[in-house]
Amino acid sequence: MAYEYILTASEDGIGIITLNRPKILNALNLQLVDELVAELERMDRDPDIRVIILTGNDKAFAAGADINEMAEASAIEIMKRDQFAVWDRMSLISKPIIGAVSGFVLGGGCELMMNCDIVIASETAVIGQPEIKLGVMPGAGGTQRLTRAVGLRKAMEMLLTGEPISAKEALRYGLVNRVVPVEAYFQEARKLAKQIAAQPPLAVQVIKKAVHKADDLPLGEGMDYERNGFYLLLASEDRKEGMQAFLEKRKPRFTGN
Ligand code: CAA
């Protein structure tokens, strides 16, 4: 499929999506988000892809929603666009998404990062929700996911001041998984993606969903969900292969069945 604002590639079971509006720091216009979600869904259906990397460039993962597009629109127009409905579809992607982020990770860019399951950040990343400085607030999960990720007080400080935090501080608060030099963040994400792509795909997807349920469900219901996932995976071919390979002291060959 031909896209205007994203680049796509795949290698060794890894799908790579690169946000590509470098002149305006990968500002997220409606078309970019549509293209991104269409490609995420395509990769989710592609049996040759097991893990997805979402990245930008060294200077910007994304500096937020495209302010040019928002500045003139009325509240009613924006409400009628229902522009966040397409964002909601991102949370339905069943394969793991690894964010490889660098530079500006602001507003919608931070919300996009928080839609990733694992995040590798470059030392240069600055991460925040500056919407308050524009007289508005986040609309794609910034108040909800940030609070779950860093806790109420830190989220409150970030959202009410609009000031970003450094990659190192984000690491301390558990908002990103690893911080590495700017030359290495993409390679680090690729290394991790390769490691996950070698795991049994069904288990990967069931685990991803179960971990996200921990955000949504009371503990008892989450435990039930986990147990049902565990029973389901016992019925998979990959479970037979994984356990047999262990007993035969060889490497397993997982097929996703
Ligand atoms: N939308 C549209 N254009 C943007 C943009 C955005 N979010 N962010 C940057 N740009 C454009 C700039 O207008 C500029 O374009 P021109 O060269 O044509 O003037 C170009 O990108 C480079 O930006 P700067 O010259 O400003 O670069 P800088 O290094 O001096 O500053 C920055 C970088 C601090 C990120 C600054 O650009 C900035 O503050 N951007 C806006 C960040 C922001 O407020 N994001 C939140 C948007 S609202 C949102 O995301 C709502 C939501 O929840 C979905």
Q: In 3D, which of 208, 194, 145 has the Cα closest to residue 174?
A: 145
Confidence of residue 180 (pLDDT cuts 50, 70, 90): very high
Choosing from 21, 24, 143 the residue with most ligand 1 atoms within 8 A of its CB, the one to mutate for a pocket test is: 24
d(CA 43, CA 62): 21
Whole-Å CA distances, 145 to 17, 168, 211, 237 = 22, 19, 14, 35
Return the pLDDT at 191.
Answer: 98
Contact in structure between 53 and 189 (CB atoms under 8 Å): yes
* 76-107 pLDDT, tens digit each: 998 998 889 999 999 999 999 999 999 999 99
* 22-74 pLDDT, tens digit each: 999 999 999 999 999 999 999 999 999 999 999 999 999 999 999 999 888 89
Q: Which atom of ligand 1 is nearest to the CA of 139?
A: 53
Q: Cβ(159) to ligand 1 under 6 A?
A: no
Kindly give the distance from the C-alpha atom of residue 19 to the centroid of ligand 1, in angstroms, as a whole number.
15
Q: Is 195 helix (H, G, I), strand (E, B) or coil?
A: helix
Q: What is the ipTM of this complex?
A: 0.97
Q: Which atom of ligand 1 is nearest to the CA of 84?
A: 54
Q: Cβ(24) to ligand 1 under 6 A?
A: yes
Contact in structure between 202 and 256 (CB atoms under 8 Å): yes
Confidence of residue 209 (pLDDT cuts 50, 70, 90): very high
Q: Is the overall model pTM greater than 0.90, yes or no?
A: yes
Amino acid (1-letter code) at residue 208:
K
Q: Which residues contact 4 (CB under 8 A, 6 or more apart)?
A: 31, 35
Mean pLDDT estimate for the chain: 97
Percent with pLDDT over 90 in the chain: 96
Q: Is 49 helix (H, G, I), strand (E, B) or coil?
A: coil
> Measuring from atom 38 of ligand 1, which residue has the nearest CA?
63
- Write down all domains in the chain, each with its CATH number in brackets: 6-197 (3.90.226.10), 201-247 (1.10.12.10)
Kindly give the distance from the C-alpha atom of residue 64 to the centroid of ligand 1, in angstroms, as a whole number.
7
Return the pLDDT at 34.
Answer: 97
> Measuring from atom 22 of ligand 1, which residue has the nearest CA?
24
- Side-by-side strand order, sheet with 165-166: 60-62, 104-106, 126-128, 165-166
Q: Cβ(138) to ligand 1 under 6 A?
A: yes
Q: Which atom of ligand 1 is nearest to the CA of 106?
A: 45
pLDDT greater than 90 at residue 193: yes
Whole-Å CA distances, 36 to 57, 76, 78, 86, 233 = 15, 25, 20, 10, 30
Q: Cβ(68) to ligand 1 under 6 A?
A: yes
DSSP one-letter code for 136: -
Kindly give the distance from the C-alpha atom of residue 108 to the centroid of ligand 1, in angstroms, as a whole number.
11
Region 115-140: mean pLDDT is 98
Amino acid (1-letter code) at residue 207:
I
d(CA 153, CA 88): 26
Q: Is 153 helix (H, G, I), strand (E, B) or coil?
A: helix
Q: Is 85 helix (H, G, I), strand (E, B) or coil?
A: helix
Give per-residue burial for 157-183: e unless 16+ CB within 10 Å, then b.
ebbeeeebbbbebbbebebbbebbebe
pLDDT greater than 90 at residue 1: no
> Measuring from atom 39 of ligand 1, which residue has the nearest CA?
63
Q: Which atom of ligand 1 is nearest to the CA of 65?
A: 50
Q: Cβ(229) to ligand 1 under 6 A?
A: no
Q: In 3D, which of 63, 181, 59, 183 has the Cα closest to residue 112?
A: 63
Return the pLDDT at 18.
Answer: 98
